[in-house]
Structure 1
C-alpha cells in the first residue's frame, strides 16, 4: 500500500500526465515498477480518463531472440515515424542489472533521438527475471503512456523465446525479428512466435542466407496457416527496408482496426486501460494487484478489524437463538459433513468450505446487527467474513498455517473492495442488490487465502461479475422477506465456490465488465463504467459503521437514538401525541420510509417509523421487538400513523461528503395541546468513526451479551479476554475458531 504522501502525489501526477507533462510521465513509470503502487496508479489514470480524451495510441511490439538486432532496428524504425511528425513512446524491456536491480540500459543507448527529442520518449524496464521477455509493469506502463497521448508506442522485449509470446495480449501488432541462418526449420514454430506475429522481419539481410531464411519462413507460415503475415528484409548496416517495414506495420494496424470494426456489435469506446486487444479489464487487475500485495495497513485499521471480527462472531451467535435462521443451517443435505472440515461457530457442524461459508455468512447477517457501509451503494462488509473464516479455517485444518492476523488482513481487503466499489457505483438504482459486491470481494480474498496466483484472483473476480446481480425486490414492499437475511450468506458462499474453481484451473473472462453488448456494464449497468472512486487501501475498515446498541437498518440508527432520548421525557403522554416529525437523509427515504401493514420481522427492521415508534415507547430496541408478539402492541401502529418523514437536504449532502459521512436524523414530538418536545438531532451514530472511543466498551458489552446467549459463563469469560490478548494475531485460526464451538 502506498504511503499517504504518494496517495496524494499520484492523482496529481495523473492530472499533469493528461496535459503532456513528461516529468509526470517519467515519475509514474518509475512508480509503476513497484507492485504496491500499481492499483493506486491505475485508479488515478482511470479517474483522469473520465475528464479527458487521450489519443487512441496503437501499440507495436518488437520481439525475437537476443542478438538479432532488435534495438538497432527499432532505433531506425522509430526515427522514421518521428521524421513523419509522429509522437512516439518506447518501452524497452531490458535484463535486470545484477548491481542496481534495475534495467540494463543497452537498448535505450541504441535509439538515436536526433533533433526531434520533444517527439520521442524512451523508457527501459527491468524484466526482473531472465525467464520472461516482458517486464511485469509493462501493461500498466502502456496505460500510462496512452494517457500521455502518444501517436505510436513501441515495446521491445528482451528476446527469450517462448516468454515473448506473452506480449500478444498487450499490443495491436507483433513484429517478429529474425536473422539469417537461425537454425532448425521448426524452431520458430516451436517457440510459438510465428503464431502471434503480424509482421516478420529478417534483419541483417546484408548477411549470407537471407533469401534462404525468407523461403523457409514462407514454408513455415504456410504450415501455420498464417499466409497473410508480411515478411520484410531489413539491414541496419545498409539502412534498407525501414520504410517497407513501417508500411507493413501500418497495413497490419489497418487490418486490426477493420477487424475490430466488423466484430464490434456496438460503437462503445474502449477504456484507456483495456487497450485495443482483448486485454483484462483494469478493475480486475486493480483488485488482483491489491489483494496480492503485502498487508501494510494502519494501526487503526488492524485494531478496527479485530473489533469487526469479534462483533461479527457475536452477531452470528445471537442469531442461533432464532429458529428461522437455524432451520437453514447445517450441511446441504443431512449427513453431508466433512471430517476435519470447517467448524461453524456455536454449532457442532464440520462442513466443506462452501457450505460453511453459507452457514457463517447467514448467521452473521441474519439479525441485521453486523457492521455497515453507506455510500452510493449500501452494504455490510462483514458479510465477507462468512467466506473468509470458512476458507481460512479449512486451510488451517488441512495443514496450511493461517493465523488470526491473516484473517484480519483478508477482512481489511474485502471491506475495502466492497466499500470503495460502493462509493460511486449505485447498483440499487438499476434494481440490483448490494450483495453482488460481497460475492466479488469474497472471491478475490478467498482465492488469495487458497494460495491462488494474481491471474487466478483475476479469473475468480471476473466470474463473480459474470454472475450478474440479484434483484432487490425482496427488500421492498410488497415482497419484503427473509431472503434479505440470507442473501449475503449466499453471496459469500458463491465467492468461495468461484475461488475454489479458479485455483483448480477454471478460466476467467478478461472483459467481463467492459465487453460491448455482453459485459456487465452494458447488460446490467446501463453502459456506465464501473471503477474505483479512490485507490484501494484501508479507508473502509477505518471508517466502517458499527451497530452498537440495537439491531436496526443503519439509516435509522440515529433516529432510534433520538427517539430513545425523547422517550425519557415522554412519560405517560404517548396517547396525546398528535404528530411526529422525522427529518432524515434521502437514502433513508428510499429504503426504510414505509407506510401500511408490515408483514414479518424483515419488513419491520427496515421500517423507519416502526423503529422510532418502538424506541419511543420502550426506550430501547432489541431483535425481539421485530417479532410478531411485540409487533402486536396496538400503540406502535397508532404512532406510525402520526409520523411524517421529510428529507433534510443538508443531511443528504453530509451523508455523501467523504469528510463527514454522517447518517443524521432528527425527531420531534407535537402534542394535542399545542406544545412540542425539543427537536433531538443526532448527526453521527454511536457506531461512527467519530464516536469510536465511545463505542469500544459498548461493543465489548454487546459481544459478551451475544456470546452469553449461546455459551456458558466460563466460556464467555475466556472469549472476552481475547479482546485484549496480545498474542491473538499469531494464533492459528483453527485454534481460534475452536474456542467458539462449545454449545450450551
Structure 2
C-alpha cells in the first residue's frame, strides 16, 4: 500500500538527509505534513542525530500582518546571508487553500535565488485550521531542516494573532515586521508579539510616517520594559537597511548564545565534578565545520582573493629591500635548510614549513602595506598567507598536489575566521594584540591543507587558543618597536607548528575557551564568551581594505588622501599655516593620535600627524618616508605641532555601520591672515569595497612596481602575465612559486 511504502522509505530518506541530499529533504518535508508519518520521521531523525555530529542551525522567524512586505524583505535578507556563503533554509507558513488544502501564497517566488541556488532551499507549508500563523508541522519540519545542516533557517508566518506567539518556543530570534501608518500597533500589542520580538522592523520606511512609527515603538518598548529590542528601518524599494537588519539579527542571536553560554557556564563545574568533559566549545566546532566544508564562494570572493594573493606577495618582495627585515629571514640557524622544503619568494631559501611561514609572514607585514580589516578588533588578514603559502608549497613538493585555487580557498577561509572573530570581540581593549587571530586562523586552514580531519582542526585551533595572546605594548609609546612588523610572522609560524603537531596526533582541549577559571574567556577576556557574530562565509574577503597608493596605518589612509589633495596649496604657503584641523574616527584617536618624539619607523607609520605632515609636504607617501633620514626634515615636526585632532561622531558611527564601514577623515588648513583652505573630506579610502573598480588597475601597478624592485624585466613580465591569467587558479602552487624565487 502507498501508506506503507512511504513509511518504509523514511529511514532511508533520513540517512540521505544527513548526507545533504536535497531530494530527501523535500520528500521528508512533504511526508511531515501528514499526521500518520510524523512519529516515524521523528524517530528516524533522532537516530541520525545520535549517529552523526549535528549542526544546530539557528532559526529566525519573520512575522507580521499581511501586506507589510515580509516576503520581499525575506528575499533580500536571505540573499544577504547566501551572498556571505551561508546555506539557508526557508519555511514559509502560508494560509491553507479552502479548495486544495495546499499553500496558496507561494512565497518562494519572492526570493531570487540566482547563481547561489545550491545554498538556498525554500518550502511553503500550509497552515492548518485553528493554528493561526504557525503550521502544525513546523516543529518537525525545523528538526528535519536542522538535520540537513543549514547554517541559518528562516520561518515566515502570515497574520498577526495569538497563535503566532507560539513561534517563540520554536525559534532563536523573532523579527516582527510592520509598516508606517497601518494601525498594526493595536494588533501586535494585543497579540503579545511585541513581548516576544527580538527585532522590530519598520519596513517601507521610504513612505511617510516611518519616523513617527519608530518613535511610537520606542515609547511602547520603554514602557513595556523591553528597551533592548532593536528597531530597524528598511525599504525593499530602495534596497536600504538590509545589512543593518542582518547585523541586528546576528546581535540578537549572539545575545541568545550568551544566555545559553552563561547557563552552561554555571552548570559546568557540576558537570566537570561528575566527570563529563566531552562537550566541545561550539566556536571550535563552527570553525572546523567551516574549514572542512567544500569551498562554495561568490565570484567576487575568488576575484578579490586573487588580488589579495598578488598584493601580499608584492608587499613581501618590496620588504626585501629593507635590511631591518632581511636580517631576520632565513633558517632558524645557519645551514638549517631543507632541500625539498618550502620556498621563500624573492630568495633562494628552502626551509621547513614552520620557518618558511615565519619568513613569508614577516616579509608581507614588514612595511605595513598589506591589506587590512577594521572592526572592534583590527588586523591584517593577509598575514595568514605566510602559513598558507609555506604549507601549500611544502605539500606540493612532497608529492601532494595543490593548486593556486586551493591556496585561494584557504585564504578566503582564513580571512573569514580572523575577520568575523574581529567584528565584535575587541582583544585590544583588554591589552591583547590582534595577531592572536592570525594564529587561530592559520592553525585551522594549515591543518586542512596538511590533510587533517575535522577533529584535528579542532585540536589545532584549541591549542591556538590555549597559547593565549601577545601584549600590545610594542605598538604603543613608550615601547613602540619593530616587533609590530614581525609579530604576524611569528603568529602564522606558530599556527603552522600547531597544525603539524595536530596532524601528528597531538591532542586538543575541547573547552579551551570556556573552562571556568582556566579557559581563555575567564583568564584573558573578563569571563565574556567569544562567539561568531555572523555565519562564516566570504564576507571578509569581499569587504577587505587594500592599501593601494601608500603604506600607512589604515585609519589614516583617507587623511593622507585629503592631505595630498591639499599639498599644492600647502607647499606655496607653508610658512603661513597657523593651524591644521584633522577630524577623524574614535578608533584613529585611540590608535594613531600621537604627539611628542617618534623613535623609529614603526612609531612613525602609526602616527596620524606624521602621515598628514609628509603628505602635505611631498604630495605622496612612500615606505622610505618613515626612515630616519626623511624624518629629520624639521618641517615635519613643525607641521605636527600645528595639528589638532578631533573626533567627528558621525565618522565614528559610520565606521561601525555594517552598511557603510567607512574610515573617514577631514583635513583643513588655517592661515595666519585669517583665511582657510577648503575642508577636504574623504570618507572611503581607495582600497574600500565601494571603490574596488577604481583600485583594481592601481593594485596591478602596485604589484608590478613592487616586484620590479627585486626581479629582472623578463621575470616582471612573466609575473604580469600571471596576474592577468584567468586560468591561474588551475596552476600547481609549486609551479607558481617557481616564478617567484631566486634560482641560485
Q: Above 0.5 in TM-score?
A: yes
Change (3 A) 1:236 1:671: closer
Q: Which runs of 5+ in 1 are unaligned?
A: none
Deviations 1:59-112 (A, max 9, x none): 999999999999999999999999999999999999999999999999999999
In structure 1, what is the Cα distance between the partners aligned to 2:474 and 2:698? 32
Give secondary structure in 1 for the equivalent of 2:638: helix
Deviates more, 1:37-46 or 1:212-221: 212-221
Cα distance change on mapping 1:6 and 1:212 into 2, 3 Å = same
Q: CA deviation at 1:274?
A: 16
Which deviates the most, 290-299 or 44-53? 44-53
Say what the alpha-carbon RMSD is for the aligned residues.
20.1
How has the CA–CA distance of structure 1 residues 505 and 100 changed in structure 2, closer, same or farther, with 3 Å as cutoff? Answer: farther
1:476–1:170: structure 2 CA closer, same or farther, 3 Å change rule? farther
- Inter-partner Cα distance in structure 1 for 2:213 and 2:441: 53
Q: 1:649 to 1:704 in 2, by over 3 A?
A: same
Match of 1:463 in 2: 463
SS in 1 for 2:265: coil
Change (3 A) 1:17 1:487: same
Asked whether the 8 Å contact 2:473–2:479 carries over to 1, the reply is yes
CA separation of 1:486 and 1:127: change in aligned 2, threshold 3 A: farther
User: Does 137-146 or 686-695 show the bigger shift?
Assistant: 137-146
* Greater C-alpha radius of gyration: 1
Q: Is the Cα–Cα contact under 8 Å of residues 58 and 171 in structure 1 kept in the other structure?
A: yes
Q: CA deviation at 1:610?
A: 0.1
Retained in 2: the 8 A contact 1:273–1:282?
no
Q: 1:632–1:732: structure 2 CA closer, same or farther, 3 Å change rule?
A: same
Count of residues in correspondence between the two structures: 744
Distance 1:48 1:638, change over 3 A: farther
**Separation (CA, whole Å) in 2 of partners of 1:251 and 1:325:** 42
Q: Describe the superposition over 1:562-621 as per-residue Cα deviations: whole angstroms up to 9, x where unpaired.
A: 000000222321111100000000000000000000000000000000000000000000
Q: CA separation of 1:141/1:455 partners in 2, compared to 1, >3 Å: closer, same or farther?
A: farther
Q: What is the CA distance between 1:278 and its match in structure 2? A: 3.2
Relative to structure 1, the CA distance from residue 3 to residue 306 in structure 2 (aligned partners, 3 Å threshold; closer, same or farther) is farther
Residues 660-699 of structure 1 show CA distances to partners (whole Å, capped at 9, x for unaligned) of 0000000000001110000000000000000000000000
Moved over 6 A (4+): 1-276
**Given that residues 161 and 187 in structure 2 are in contact (C-alpha distance below 8 angstroms), is that contact kept between their aligned partners in structure 1?**
no
* Stretch deviating more after TM superposition (53-62 or 262-271): 53-62
The 10-residue stretch of structure 1 (547-556 or 151-160) with the greater mean CA deviation from structure 2:
151-160
Q: Give the distance between the partners of 1:328 and 1:566, measured in 2 at CA.
A: 39
Q: Aligned partners of 1:689 and 1:81: how far apart in 2?
A: 18
Normalised to the residue count of structure 1, the TM-score between the two structures is: 0.67
Change (3 A) 1:657 1:92: closer
Task: Show structure 2 runs of 5+ residues with no match.
Answer: none
Q: Which residue of 2 aligns with 1:354?
A: 354
Could you give the per-residue CA deviations for residues 261-295 of structure 1, whole angstroms, max 9, x where no partner exists? Answer: 99999777999999975300000000000000010
Q: 1:148: Cα distance to partner?
A: 17
Question: Does structure 2 conserve the Cα–Cα contact (< 8 Å) formed by 1:416 and 1:537?
Answer: yes
Contact 1:172–1:276 (8 Å) recurs in 2: no
Closer, same or farther: CA 635–520 of 1 in aligned 2, 3 Å? same
Shift in Å, 1:628: 0.1
Q: Which moved more, 1:160-169 or 1:649-658?
A: 160-169
Cα distance change of structure 1 residues 49 and 529 upon mapping to structure 2, 3 Å threshold: farther
Secondary structure of residue in 2 paired with 1:490 = helix
Query: Could you say if the C-alpha distance between residues 335 and 151 of structure 1 is closer, same or farther in structure 2, counting changes exceeding 3 Å?
Result: closer
* Greater shift in the superposed pair: 259-268 or 687-696: 259-268
Q: Deviations along 1:96-151, whole A, 9 cap, x unmatched?
A: 99999999999999999999999999999999999999999999999999999999
Segment of structure 1 superposing worse, 405-414 or 274-283? 274-283
Mapped contact 1:143–1:275 kept (Cα < 8 A) = no
Relative distance call for 1:356 and 1:647 in structure 2 (3 A) is same
Does the 8 Å contact 1:552/1:611 carry over to 2? yes
CA contact (8 A) 1:65 1:159 kept: yes
1:39/1:287 contact within 8 Å kept: no
CA pair 132-400 structure 1, distance change in 2 beyond 3 A: farther
